Structures are given as structure tokens and as C-alpha cells.
Structure 1
């Protein structure tokens, strides 16, 4: 049965604000699983949809979601067994695996379409010489991306440009620091540009990382090899619920709008439309969430070049998509279209 736009709006309103019992029949016993996620941004849409529409329960999972913003902290929690699956920057996972941590990337939740944003007084990359570029934290995806980008613009990190870890994982909040005089530039998205414009602030876009050939570390899903071996059914259940969340977000914008209103406190229709377009329609979060091997290999190459003592590996040594392939081969994606 295909629900009308109004019906979806009513359903989402009920689920998001009243938290009723799921309307579908769920397994008598739910398997518990603790999942950490990093930044709070539009890319978390499918995760929030899965939570609010009880998709985890539908697939037999009691998923406990916890936010851990720092990639290294979430990886340490994963290694310690405090969380079962971590949704965090692939660069943090790669760094751990290169030091022989028994982890695997099993899927992706996409990567931001980063641009280099600058204060309106700065109109070219050359003018960044002697300036401060804000990242989130040392070793984060944004930090890696900045360090990869600057040399392509003729700038040497630490010499021509100071990279300042701001401690802010949300790119919009980092962008606001430009108007407080704390930084001169940072990485952000077109959504951030629109958000700033709606707030009466203008920024200059100095570079597009994709056009510059800079692979941005994705926000990937990782788990320990032991958990992957001992609890494959939990991983399958999580992936099915998450993929269904992507599908619903793509085809029912009222649902994505509802979760963005709740979790991001966004009400502006233009900004909500932009978030839905970039996250779901443009495929920043792909329906088939296979990790981008080129991005992971880029992280490996960067880290091993900067740290000669690390073991060289291939992206295929870090990634294990066995369960994701099983889900695709069993026809799960085709079932979503019915």
C-alpha cells in the first residue's frame, strides 16, 4: 500500500512526538546492540528515521544509540567492547587498523560534499597564507581532508597555514567561528552556506574538494572482527533497518523533514529541502551503503606516508562487506520497491 503525503505526515508526527508501540509485529525477543555515531548533521537522517519509525525493532534489534563525537574515542570504545558498532570517520578506523587493531569497516553512511569556506574578506586560496583554518579535532575526517587539500592549493599545513582543532564536529558551528574572529576558513557544505545566508552571513567558497581530487573520509560503520564473527545476525538486522531508513527518507521527504526538525531544530523550508536533496536525492548517503574503497585507500596512503613506521595495507584489508553483499543478494533492495 502506498501512503499519501498527508498520511505520511500524520504517521511521522505520531511516531516522532508520541512514541507509540510499533504498528507491525516484532520478534518476541529483541537482540541488544550498542551503536555510537559521530557528528549531528543531516547525514544522520537514516539513523534517526530507523530509530523513530521503530525499524530496528522491526528487524529484531534493540539498538541503543549513543553519540561519541571524537573518532579516536569511538574507536577506543569499539576496541574495548563498550560499543558494538561505531559510525565514525573512516580515517580513525584506518589509523587503528594500521596499528593492528582487529576492526573492519562493514558499510558507509556517506561522506560530506565538503567545500573550503572562507570569511568574506578572503577571496582566494592564496590569501589564506598566514591565516587560521579550523578543523574539528586532530585525526578527524575534516582534519585529514584539510591537510590533503591545502597542498593542492599551494599551501603547506603548519607553515603557510595554521590548522586549529576547534573541538566542533558540526561544520555549521565551525563556520560561525569565522564571524567571531577565531578562524579564517573551514570545511563546510552547501547546506552550511545556505544556513549562513539565511542568518544574514555571507562566505566565499574557495574550493570544492571533489573537483580538487581530494577524497573525503566517509562516516563509515565499523565493528570488531570478533563481533562480526560472533553476531552476524545483529549486523544484518542493523543494516536492514538502516537501509530501510535511507529508502524511506529518499521517497518520503516529510519523514526526513520531521527528523531534521526534531534532531537539528531546523524549521526553514529551504534548508529542509536542501538537506533532503543533498542527503538522499544527490546520494551523499547512498542507498547501497558500500564503503568507498578509493577514499579508504587515500587515508591509508596519507597515514603511511606521514608515519613510515605503520604497516602498509590495501583498502580491502580494512573492509569486509560480506554481510552487506548477502543482504543485496537475498533481494532486500528489490523488496523495498514493492
Structure 2
């Protein structure tokens, strides 16, 4: 009987040992199956497409470049496969060196900075335009300065010396009968110039639409608007530019960028006004909704889906500036413009 009991206990222990081994084996199999299943899922699951990085720089804090801001904030760049970094650099003359150095892919600014850079031997090209001269942009002055003639011997602030606004303001003064050499220009951001005007430390300044209502409220005198001068209505207000070598090495990225800008036109025009508030605060630095409303209305009226650079209009502006920069007469304007990519973008979007 003792032997039977002993045998039973041995058998029972063996069964327990087998059961424990089976349990451990099952656990191991479950873990292995889980790991295999996980990695199988990782290997077979569709991966989201990689976004192409692109850095875009603007030299003036204004909603005139609003299509770029909207394309960024509303996910349009991402829609076209771009991871866009949009940065502010103070003035055309700061943006352009960054483009030349390769730290910025696409710059936003006027034709004059592209023209002057090409004179230095750099092959920078315009790949599209932002808009033409918008209503509401002009030169404002302290209350005691009543007319354009009163600007002689005075100081005018512009975003950069040698940039677009500096160039067009010199042209405007000449047309209006003031020798631009009798005026001193200094570099200031829009916010700095507005503050200096309020403090009485500045005579006059270029004023963008973004500050139009603020200057009006402050009691400054509007001396002129560029759009009111017939000779300036054909002036291309801004362009998208890049090094030709970068453009040719990144053709798909260039077309995607331009498609995003074109699509942003309708988005900009259809956006509720209050949605511009965070965009203006981030990129322009203005949170006054009434002031933003004025800027959105005036700039929006100048945005179009056909953003090709019209060669004759570009040549018209460059010829106008030849008085101030005689070397411009030797420029081949056709070589500084490349519409191939914007035409492809327009075709793919069905824009005529």
C-alpha cells in the first residue's frame, strides 16, 4: 500500500511538472507569436509618405505674403508633400544672402533684390509672383509734414536699403517731383517704424496695409499711395525666388510649392476674418482685428491663381529703376525669370 501511495505521489508530481512546463511553453509561444505579429504588422503596414523639407523666408512682416502663411497654417504645404519651415528675416538684403548660402530655399521679396544679386554674378531666378501693387500701401508722416514736398531733408523708414520698398519709394518720389537723393532712408521693421512715428522720433515711413488703420487712428498724414500713381500700377509687388541650381535639383519640390501657393488663393479669400487673427499675430505681429480686416481686404484683392511672372512687367519696373542703378540696363530680364514650373503647377491644378 505504501508503494502504491508513493507511486501515486511520484506520478502526481510528474504530471505537475509536465503541466508547469506546458504552461511555460505556452507563455513563450504566446510572447513569440505576439512579437512576430507586431513586427509583421510594422513591416506590412503602409507607411505615410516622407515630407520634403523646404525653408521659406520673408523679409517683411506683412499679410502681403499671406498666401505662404495660409499654406503653412492650413496644411496645404503638407497636402503637397512638403514640410515647410516659414521664417522671418529682417529685410530683402538679409533673406537673399541666406538663399545664396543655401540655408533658405525660397525667398519672398521684390524684383530689385533679384536684379541686384544677378549683377553680382549669382544665378537667382524668380519662379512666381505674390501680387501687384496693393491698394492702401504708401508713405505716411508725422502730422506736421503735410505734403510730399515737405519730405525734403527728412528721414523715411523702409524695411531694407536696396530692397523692393526702398526702390519703389525712390521711384515714387521722383515721379511726384521730389529728388530721392534729398531724402534720407533708414532701415526699420514696420513695427519699429510705427513705434518711432508715435514717439515723434521718425519723420515718415513706408506703411503696409497691415498698419494702415493704425496710422489713421494715430493721426498721421498719408502722403501718397503707390497704387494712386499711374506709373506704378504695373509694378510687380513681390516674387518667389531661388537659386537656379536648387530649382533644377528640386523640380518636384518647386512645383509642389507653387501648387500650394495657388491653392491658398481661394482659401485666403474664403477664410472667416477671425481665422486671420492667429496668423497675423504669428507672422505680422498685429492683433487688432479691424486693422487685420483692412489688410485682408486690400491684399486679397490682389491675389490671383495665375502667378506667372509677366516678363514685360518685370522689364518695365527694372527699366524704371535704371535711373538709380545704371547697371540694370545690362540685365537680361528674361534670364532672371523662369515660368516653367508655375505653368506646370497651374496645368496640374487646372488653372488657366
TM above 0.5, yes or no, is yes
Question: Which residue number in structure 1 is paired with residue 32 of structure 2?
Answer: none
Question: Which residue number in structure 1 is paired with residue 298 of structure 2?
Answer: 278
The DSSP-based 3-state class of the residue aligned with 1:105 is strand
Structure with the bigger percentage of helix: 2
**How many aligned positions are there?**
302
Cα shift readout 1:11-53 (whole Å, capped 9, x = no counterpart) = xxxxxxxxxxxxxx99511112222222111123222221122
Larger Rg computed on CA atoms: 2
Counterpart Cα distance in 2 of 1:115 and 1:26: 50
C-alpha spacing 1:203/1:111, structure 2 compared with 1 (3 Å)? farther
The DSSP-based 3-state class of the residue aligned with 2:56 is strand
The DSSP-based 3-state class of the residue aligned with 2:94 is helix
Question: Which residue number in structure 1 is paired with residue 100 of structure 2?
Answer: 79
Task: Give the alignment of 1:140-151 within 5 angstroms.
Answer: 140-151=163-174
Residue 314 of structure 1: CA displacement?
A: 4.2
Residue 134 of structure 1: CA displacement?
A: 2.1
C-alpha spacing 1:180/1:112, structure 2 compared with 1 (3 Å)? farther
The DSSP-based 3-state class of the residue aligned with 1:101 is coil
Cα shift readout 1:141-194 (whole Å, capped 9, x = no counterpart) = 1111121111222221233xx3231332x2x54244223333222222454231
Question: Which residue number in structure 2 is paired with residue 31 of structure 1?
Answer: 52
C-alpha spacing 1:182/1:269, structure 2 compared with 1 (3 Å)? closer
The one of 233, 236, 239 aligned to 1:220: 239
> Are the equivalent residues in 2 in contact too, given 1:37–1:68 (CA < 8 A)?
yes
Residue 319 of structure 1: CA displacement?
A: 0.9
Please say if 1:318 is aligned against 2:339: no
Question: Which residue number in structure 2 is paired with residue 95 of structure 1?
Answer: 116
Task: Give the alignment of 1:231-310 within 5 angstroms.
Answer: 231-254=250-273, 255-280=275-300, 282-283=301-302, 285-293=303-311, 296-302=314-320, 304-309=322-327
C-alpha spacing 1:60/1:207, structure 2 compared with 1 (3 Å)? same
The DSSP-based 3-state class of the residue aligned with 1:109 is strand
Question: Which residue number in structure 2 is paired with residue 157 of structure 1?
Answer: 180
Question: Which residue number in structure 1 is paired with residue 219 of structure 2?
Answer: 202
C-alpha spacing 1:230/1:252, structure 2 compared with 1 (3 Å)? same
The one of 69, 88, 94 aligned to 1:48: 69
C-alpha spacing 1:305/1:269, structure 2 compared with 1 (3 Å)? closer
RMSD: 2.6
Please say if 1:188 is aligned against 2:180: no
Farther-moved stretch of structure 1 (32-41 vs 178-187): 178-187
**Superposition TM-score, scaled by structure 2 size:** 0.77
The DSSP-based 3-state class of the residue aligned with 1:277 is helix
Cα shift readout 1:75-126 (whole Å, capped 9, x = no counterpart) = 2222222222111222111111133311110012225532221222122222
Residue 131 of structure 1: CA displacement?
A: 2.2
C-alpha spacing 1:268/1:178, structure 2 compared with 1 (3 Å)? closer
